[in-house]
Chain A
Amino acid sequence: MKSKLFDYVERDNFVFNLSGMTKLVCFLILTFTVMFSYDARVIIFVLIFSFWILHVSEIRFSQIKVMLYYVMIFLAINFVLTFLFSPKYGVEIYGTEHDLFSITDRYTVTAEQLLYQGTKVLKYLSVIPLGMMFLLTTNPSEFAASLSSIGVPYKASFAVALTLRYFPDMIRDYNDIALAQQARGLDLSRKEKLGTRIKNIMNIFVPLVFSSLDRVEIVSNAMDLRGFGKHKKRTWYSFKPLHKGDAAAIIVSGVILLISLAVTLFINHGRFWNPFLH
């Protein structure tokens, strides 16, 4: 269990110097573009663009290796499950059927299904670099400032800041309690039966949750004593002011969104790109 959620390494380049707010806005715009469109051409463009940004922001492969493994496993499971549950979903969407080869009667591989599932894999792949770009190039203490500057109520933004602040403490508490209980002979591994394992987990949860309730009292008293929440608005020490680069980044992502919407409305007349009709 790592005590750090992710590694934030300060660097000096275009992406790092953007304000957290800009990166959040760009992330949301580009994710929306990819989520909305089912046009493989648009998605491949965003995919290349987002990997290029990842390259520009000088994120090391070792920083994102674990994420990539998780994503690959997830994509593989999703790919197989989609085919098992709906082998003809592509045919339903595109309205034509080009059989390639058949495994059984139900499981016939069609060009439509391959296009649908292939597009889906590309969709998920292209979102990942965008998320990593926001997560790994933004100083965690700037998260709350960026959330609040796009209109999230500041108390909710502050809750996010507290989450990131107390996560390492929680991991440490959890490890301490789990090791102490294991030293007393508590088995948490697969060898125990389900019921016993839940009982054993409760023996960790009770001290963990109750001690965090105590922590809630301490922290909220400290904040109340310093007058937190007196005013309707607050400013953020870590907020980075906006520069020319920020405007450029937002405009570029906005243009990509508009292109994608235009393709959807005027070329494809729907969310799906259908090459089978011609």
Chain B
Amino acid sequence: MKKLFEFKTRTLVATGIGAALFTLLFMYVKIPTGIPETSIQTAYGVGSFFAAMFGPIAGFLIAFIGHAISDAVQYGSPWWSWVIASGISCCIVGLAYPRLKVDEGVFGWKDILVFNIFQIAANVISWIVVAPLLDIIIYSEPANLVFTQGAVAALWNAISMGVIGTLLLFLYSKTRSGKGTLSKEQ
């Protein structure tokens, strides 16, 4: 049985390397949607993959560290409300971790459904509730502006996690061999 909040050396290293990958994708690899100033952040797709593979703590730290470092490098200082929301979104995806057996090569339709329910819940909670509320509390931004920005972010990040995250999990499960799949040659 996988423990939800376990933090082994492997989880720690996955966090560090995942966060490096997150930073890189967050800064450089965005897919423009055709609408000006909005692009799909591919980082969240990869972040959700790592969260589903390594659990909520790893998920939270990957998105939190990755977002904070890329903000700090690009803007000089992290935009805390969105950095925290990023962390929470990948943390919630990570809650699906005990239910998935991607490591053992299992990722069927039921698992796809589970992963996507968690990621949609994660995006709604973090971008439509947490990020705008923190924006209002910390930065006193006008409410209708931040809720609109949050809704747009929730939509694009859910697409990123739903497409890139699901595909990565599915492809990775194909490279793993499950328990009891060896059979004795007659």
Contacts and interface: CB of A to CB of B under 8 A. Distances in A.
A162 B24 contact: no
B163 interface: yes
The contact size tier of chain A is 35 or more
A232 interface: no
A269 interface: no
A128 to B, nearest CB: 4
Interface stretch (B71-79, B90-98, B118-126): B71-79
A205 to B, nearest CB: 7
B23 A131 contact: no
A127 B76 contact: yes
B66 A163 contact: yes
Most chain-A CB neighbours within 10 Å: which of B18, B20, B42, B175? Answer: B20
Interface stretch (A14-22, A165-173, A244-252, A256-264): A165-173
Contacts of A201: 29, 31, 42, 164
B23 A206 contact: no
B76 A216 contact: no
A194 B34 contact: yes
A167 B181 CA distance: 37
A209 B168 contact: yes
Interface string B22-33: 011000110111
A224 B9 CA distance: 7
Interface stretch (A41-49, A103-111, A153-161, A233-241): A153-161
Nearest to B160: A198
B16 interface: yes
Given A64-B76, A127-B77, A166-B17, A159 B61 contact: yes
A182 interface: no
Interface residues of B, number: 57
Given A86-B144, A131-B72, A198-B163, A170 B24 contact: yes
B24 A171 contact: yes
A61 interface: no
Contacts of B13: 162, 216, 219-220, 223
Given A170-B24, A215-B17, A67 B145 contact: no
B9 A167 contact: no
B142 interface: yes
A202 interface: yes
A163 B144 contact: no
A128 B78 CA distance: 9
Interface of B: 7-10, 12-21, 23-24, 28-29, 31-34, 37, 40, 42, 45-46, 49, 53, 61, 65-66, 69, 72-78, 80, 138-145, 148, 163-164, 167-168, 171-172, 175
- Name the 9 nearest CB pairs between A and B, nearest first: A162-B16, A131-B77, A86-B142, A128-B76, A85-B145, A220-B13, A163-B19, A131-B76, A159-B15
9 contacts: A35-B139, A70-B75, A85-B148, A158-B12, A159-B12, A162-B20, A163-B66, A163-B69, A197-B31
